[in-house]
Structure formats: C-alpha cells, structure tokens
Amino acid sequence: MTDQTIDLTNCDREPIHIPSLIQPHGVLLVLQYPTLEIVQVSSNTQKVVGRQPEELLGKPLSNLLDAKQIKLIQQCLAKDFESINPLNLSIKHLNKSIYFDGIVHRLDNIIIIELEQKKAKGKTDFFDFYQQVRGTITRIQKAPTLLEMCQIVVQEVRTITGFDRVMVYRFDQEGAGRVIAEDTNQETPYLDLHYPPSDIPKQARQLYTLNWLRLIPNANYQPVGLIPADNPLTNQPLDMSLSVLRSVSPIHLEYLQNMGVTASMSISLIQDQKLWGLIACHHSSPKYLSYNIRTVCEFIGQVMSVELVNKEATEDIEYKTQLKSLQTQFVEALSQAEYFLDGMVQLKSQLLNLVNATGAVICSGDQCIRVGKTPSEQEVHALLDWIKPQVYHNLFETRSLLLDYPLAESYKAIASGVLALEISKVHHNYILWFRPEVIQTVNWGGDPNKPVEVLSDGSFRMSPRKSFQLWQETVQGSALPWKPCEVEAVTELRSLVVGVVLRQADKLAAMNYELQRSNEELDSFAYVASHDLKEPLRGIHNYANFLMEDYAEVLDDDGIAKLQTLVKLTQRMEDLINSLLHFSRLGRAELIRQLVNLDELVPQIITTLTIARPQSEVEFRIPRSLNSIMCDRAQITELFSNLISNAIKYNDKPQKWVEIGLLEENEQRKVAPTSLTFYVRDNGIGIPQQHLEKIFQIFRRLHGRDEFGGGTGVGLTIARKIVERHGGRIWVESVPTQGSTFYFTLSTEANA
C-alpha cells in the first residue's frame, strides 16, 4: 500500500454525503415528482410507522398519509423549504395516531421526506418561540466583545439544551480550530485547546455550510440502510447533503467515542458564506432534542453569525483608526508624487506601521527599495519570482513562509511572515511586508497527528485520535498572523496607488498626445515652409547673377560686391533650408532596421572623413569592439559622421585625436538592460558648462559663422533626433580647452 493511501487527506476524500444510511431515530422516504410515488425508503419503517418497506415501495404517498397532509406537502414544494419545515404530520397505526415532524426538501424531480416522531400533536406557538429566544438575542447584541458574546452563547445554548458541554469552536486560516468559549459541568476543560484541520475534513465543512445544524442523539447507533441502496430514478446513491437524518462517517463516530461523547450537536457559524466556526455540544449519554428546540438553537446560531461582523468590527478599534489615518497620509503623499515609488519612499515608517511589519520592500521593475529588516535584494527577487504565480486577487499572505518555500530557512528570523501586494503585473510593481519568526507554545487537544494502525492482515487503517488530553507543541518558523483589518488596509492601499498611477498616466498620456501633435505639426510646418521657401530663394539667387552678367558694364565695383554678397547670403539660406528639410524628414521617415556591424561601419566613416579632409592629421582610436546592433544604417552612419566630424573640426591642438568607444558593462550608465552606451571623445576646444544643453538646439552655434570651418548649426540637433528615434538619449561631458565626450545610448532590440 502506498503512502498516499494512508495520507491524512483520506478523510477529505470520504464520500460522506452519499452513505445510503440514516440514523435510526426517524425514517426517510424518497418520492418521485410529481406523482409522489414512493421509490426508496429506509429499512426501519415497520418499527417507526408500522409499515414494512415492501408495503410502501412503488405505492403512492396516499397509502401512508391522508389527502389533507398530501395537499400540504404539494403546496410547500414550490416554497422555500426552510420556511415551512417542519410539517405537522400524523400516521394512523393500530387505531391510534402517531405524530411526526415532517422535514421536506427537493432535488430536481426527487422529493425527500424525513419523519421524526414527537410526543404530542400540535406545533410550536410563535409566542413560545419568541419568549425562548428574546432574552438570549438581547444579550448577544449587547455583548461588548466577540469573546463575551461567545461566552453568552455557550451558556444560553447549554441552558436550553441541557448538554454537558457547549463550546464555540473557531477556525483559523489554515483550517485548524480552537475552543474560544466553553460552558461545561465536566472536569476536563477544553477552553483554548487547538484541534488540527484533519479533525473536521473539507467535505464535512462543506456540509456544515449547507446545514446549519447537525444532531447525533446516540453515537453508538446502528445505521439504517435504504431500500433499494441506489436511487432507482438516478441509479446512483442518494445525495443526502441536506438530509437531517443522514448517517455520519464511522470515523467521526469513533472519534466521538474516543472522546467519551455519546450525543453531540453542531450549529454552524457562517460569515461571508464561509464557515467561521461551530457551536459544538457534547453529552456523555444519549440525548435527543426535538426539532423545535433545535430550531431555537439554529436561530441563535444565525443571529450570532450576523453579529460576528459587528463584534469583529469593534475589535482593535483604535488600531483600525490608526490604519485609516495612515491611509490618509498615503493619499496625500501619492497624490503629490510624480511616480508612486517616490511617494512610497517618503512614507517608509508609515509603510511598516500600516500592517505592523518589521520590514518592507517596494519593487518597481528591477529596482527594489528596502525598509527595515528584510532579506537581501537578491533573496527578495528570488522570493518575488516564487510569489508571483501564487498571487490571488492581487494579494499573497502567509505566516509560515518556510512551509512552502524552503529557501526562506536562512532568513526566517526576519521574514517568516510575508504579505505581498501586486500593484501592476505589467510594470512589475509590488510591495512586500515581512514579520519575524515568533516561537510559540500551542496547546492541542491531544496529539494532532492521526495515527496509522497496522491491522492483523497487514493492511493499514487511518484511526481517529484516542487521547484529547493537553498536548503541547513548540511551533517555529511562524510569525504572528496578519489581521483581517491589516489585509483590508493593504487592499485599500492598492486602490489608492492604482488611482494615483492612473491619474498620472492619464495626465502623461494627454501631455504625450499634445507633444506628439505639436511635433507632427512642427515637422509638417518645417517641411512645407522650407520647401516653399526654396522657389523664391532660387529666384533671388538667379536674378542677382543675371544683374552681374547683364549689367556688369553699368555697375561699379561696390555694386558688384553687394550683388556677390547677396548671392552668398542666398546660398547660406539655401543650406539652412536644406538642413531644416533634412531635420524634418528625419522625424517623418520610417526607420529601416537591420543588423549593422559597427566594427565595419565606423572605420568606413573615418576613411570617408579622412579623404574629405586631407589637410587634417588626426589619430583615431577604437579601444574595443563596438558590437552589432539593430538600427537604421543610413541614420546611424549620419550620427557617427556628425559626431566624429565635429570632433575633428572643433580641435585646435597640433596633435589631434578622436576616440570612438563602447562602455564596459560595469561602466554602463543607468539605462535599460537592452541598451548599450557609446561615446565619441576628443582633445579639442571643449564646451563651457553653461552651454552643454544649448548645443543640441537647432541652428545654435557657439562660434562665429566662419570659424572652425563654418556650418549651419544643425548637426547635433540631427544627432539627438537620430538617437531618440532609436530609443536612446545623448548627452555631453566637457572641460574647456581639454576636450569633450559625447555619450549616447542605442537599443539592441529591433522594436525599440
């Protein structure tokens, strides 16, 4: 037999909703709708109603109940069963009437009627019911705290029912339970004892959410089978999830017997449609409660369930008020910050106080800002990669990280508890909070580990625990649990951050749109204006030449000189217009990206420039490989040409040199991981500090028009445009008289 066969989850897989067995204190009838033909019965009908099962199977219900009662059942089939149960029914046997509480529910075309015998005819008067619960409800509502309410409930339920022990049993996030209130006449108290999740398997908890109350009058009962065992309408075992007589798991019965409990009753406590806990009742001898008394107890459980929200809301009220104050501070800081990371950094201590943490990490992309006691940045990145798939509704929380993430062993002292908030999966924005390990002593009701018994034939059997005496365990690797109000504060924080980020994104998008529109209009204007200006400019140029040719004999030397100056000015203006046209086309032309080997391209550019300037003796240096990148070959050629040409031009040293390089990885500026940083360095005239930004403005020259070989002053503007279109940026560092270094980044990806 494999380990899986004897795993604790065996209990979780037990099909307890289809046992095809009932408890013997009532009978069960299964009818076909709408004929109300009896198709399945419990085998104890002779003992309870005086009819053999064979007398009932295949017969209409009218063989058992009179027409008035059948009409009552038909009328209630279309209603909410909880509002009409129980029905007052009676069956004649041996010339006397036997009175029953009839509990009816329906599954598709199957009607289930359960009959529990009662002592006398009649139903509970509403006034009697009200008198029984009025005082209890008032005391529940007036209880100042959750624990005091629980104590009132156990005392009231014990008074009403007479059970030996009544407890409120609360589940934690892991499914383990703890007794938080108790009223008993027994010597051994169970108050504050913990019980493992396996004591109440998952499918049992599911049934507790469907049925508010479950009664076992005698744990030593002999189960009663159904005839036939499978429902003939479905050829499947009958679904008894809603049945009040459903026989319980044999393992649970053995569990009760091991505790010394003969009769038990459980009342569900539901919060937000989830099982919050149970009102658990134990008795050392058999004990049957009428349906009416059970209804009173069920009503108390429902009222308590409603009050749970109110009582938990008043817990830690001062702490919750403090959290609200902290949230206000976050709103103010985030609304004024340009980026959420900046706003968060301003509130480091508040970030810890928001969830009573000792450490926190704010992650944005590859950047992490650590606050307080946290794992190392490398450990945080690894942990975050593990957490991301575990995130549910933007949150992840655990108080025992080591249980699921063994790598946390090295830092469990500072980060056993983790609460993670996902702000943006796309932009990798996360906030993580950490709590330290708190070594605790937990009081269990017996050893929480279910033993596996080896039977005489060598097979294995899962056995319920036999001892429920105090059993202490030292728990390590766990932090204090995250309170619901802390998790709620984090959830609200995300809404605040997302709201601010969205507002900032909308503002930025509007600005980008306006900037894009302005740039497009500017490009369009520059293109049209420069194109249209060229025609009249050519006319001025041509007419000036015509005047010099046709009227050379009439004009004196001064007139000729002025016309020659006019021709030069038109030529200069045409150069400016051509530069403007070229600049505007750069913004409009589509990039044609291809893989370009810069180790081949740059030497070609140097050769071309050397041929064009044979009088200039320049030493060119390329200290390392320049790599290959995806780019527009023509534009990158122009970029390097402009920068190298300027390095040659603006140099008054007798021994000129120009260095073209690529920064090493450890020298790279803070750029995107997919970008490379290049530079062009010279030993030229340098640039004053106050002009470092101005040199990239169009037509901006720092020297006279004819100094250093002239020019239009558009070369660096074009260089910046080319770099930006390739997803990078350009800047300069310079020392006057010593030289300049132009740095620029280029993306290595094709879709930059």
Q: Average pLDDT, stretch 379-384?
A: 92
563, 555 Cβ separation under 8 angstroms: yes
CA distance linking residue 261 with residue 281, whole number of Å: 10
Q: How confident is the model at residue 446 (pLDDT cuts 50, 70, 90)?
A: low
The reported pLDDT for the residue numbered 638 is: 84
Which one, of 735, 557, 592, 745, lies nearest residue 663 by Cα?
745
Residue 160 pLDDT > 80, yes or no? Answer: yes
CATH number of 317-336+482-584: 1.10.287
Residue 441 pLDDT > 60, yes or no? Answer: no
CA distance linking residue 246 with residue 215, whole number of Å: 10
Lowest-confidence region among 292-296, 313-317, 533-537, 737-741: 533-537
Both tokens of 503, joined, read 């507002």
Question: Is the backbone peptide bond immediately before 189 cis, with ω within 30 degrees of 0?
Answer: no
Lowest-confidence region among 18-27, 248-257, 466-475, 488-497: 466-475
CATH number of 590-747: 3.30.565.10
Q: Which residue has the higher pLDDT, 505 or 660?
A: 660
The reported pLDDT for the residue numbered 570 is: 72
The reported pLDDT for the residue numbered 263 is: 95
Both tokens of 226, joined, read 């159904």
Per DSSP, helices labelled H in 472-556 are: 484-550
CATH number of 23-117: 3.30.450.20
Q: Which residue has the higher pLDDT, 701 or 26?
A: 26
Q: Among residues of the chain, what percentage have pLDDT more than 70?
A: 79
- DSSP state, residue 24: T
Which one, of 350, 334, 351, lies nearest residue 342 by Cα?
334
**Dihedral sign from CA coordinates of 345, 346, 348, 350:** negative
Q: Which residue has the higher pLDDT, 125 or 717?
A: 717
CA-to-CA dists, residue 448 to 50, 193, 441, 464, 719, angstroms: 46, 11, 14, 10, 73
Q: Which residue has the higher pLDDT, 198 or 184?
A: 184
CA distance linking residue 167 with residue 194, whole number of Å: 13
The reported pLDDT for the residue numbered 275 is: 93
Q: Average pLDDT, stretch 287-295?
A: 90
Q: Average pLDDT, stretch 22-46?
A: 95
The reported pLDDT for the residue numbered 696 is: 76
Both tokens of 564, joined, read 């020659």
The reported pLDDT for the residue numbered 678 is: 93
CA distance linking residue 385 with residue 379, whole number of Å: 10
Lowest-confidence region among 198-212, 274-288, 427-441, 717-731: 427-441
Tell me which CATH homologous superfamily contains domain 126-314: GAF domain (3.30.450.40)
The reported pLDDT for the residue numbered 560 is: 81
Q: Average pLDDT, stretch 692-714?
A: 57
The reported pLDDT for the residue numbered 93 is: 79
Q: pLDDT tens digits for 574-607?
A: 656 665 566 666 666 677 888 999 999 999 988 8
CA distance linking residue 279 with residue 287, whole number of Å: 17
The mean predicted confidence, pLDDT, of the chain is: 81
Q: Average pLDDT, stretch 492-508?
A: 70
Q: How confident is the model at residue 5 (pLDDT cuts 50, 70, 90)?
A: very low
The reported pLDDT for the residue numbered 342 is: 65
Residue owning tokens 């209990």 = 11
CA distance linking residue 182 with residue 279, whole number of Å: 10
CATH number of 356-436: 3.30.450.270
CA distance linking residue 77 with residue 159, whole number of Å: 35
Q: Average pLDDT, stretch 411-423?
A: 91
At a CB cut-off of 8 Å and minimum separation 6, what does 519 contact? 587
b/e string for 280-315 if b means 16 or more Cβ within 10 A? bbbbeeebebebebbbbbbbbbbebbebbeebbeee
The reported pLDDT for the residue numbered 4 is: 36
Q: pLDDT tens digits for 295-353?
A: 899 999 999 999 998 888 777 777 777 778 887 777 777 666 666 666 676 777 788 88
CA-to-CA dists, residue 628 to 353, 602, 642, 645, 747, angstroms: 51, 11, 20, 22, 11
Residue 121 pLDDT > 90, yes or no? Answer: no
Q: pLDDT tens digits for 666-678?
A: 555 445 556 789 9
Domains of the chain, by residue range, sit at 23-117, 126-314, 317-336+482-584, 356-436, 441-474, 590-747
Q: How confident is the model at residue 409 (pLDDT cuts 50, 70, 90)?
A: very high
Residue 572 pLDDT > 80, yes or no? Answer: no
Q: Average pLDDT, stretch 173-179?
A: 84
At a CB cut-off of 8 Å and minimum separation 6, what does 500 contact? 334, 335, 337, 340, 343
The reported pLDDT for the residue numbered 407 is: 92
Q: In what order do the strands lie in the sheet with 27-32?
A: 21-22, 224-227, 37-42, 27-32, 110-117, 96-107, 87-93
Q: pLDDT tens digits for 608-643?
A: 888 877 667 889 999 999 988 888 888 888 889 889
Lowest-confidence region among 207-211, 297-301, 531-535: 531-535
317-336+482-584 shares the fold of 126-314: no
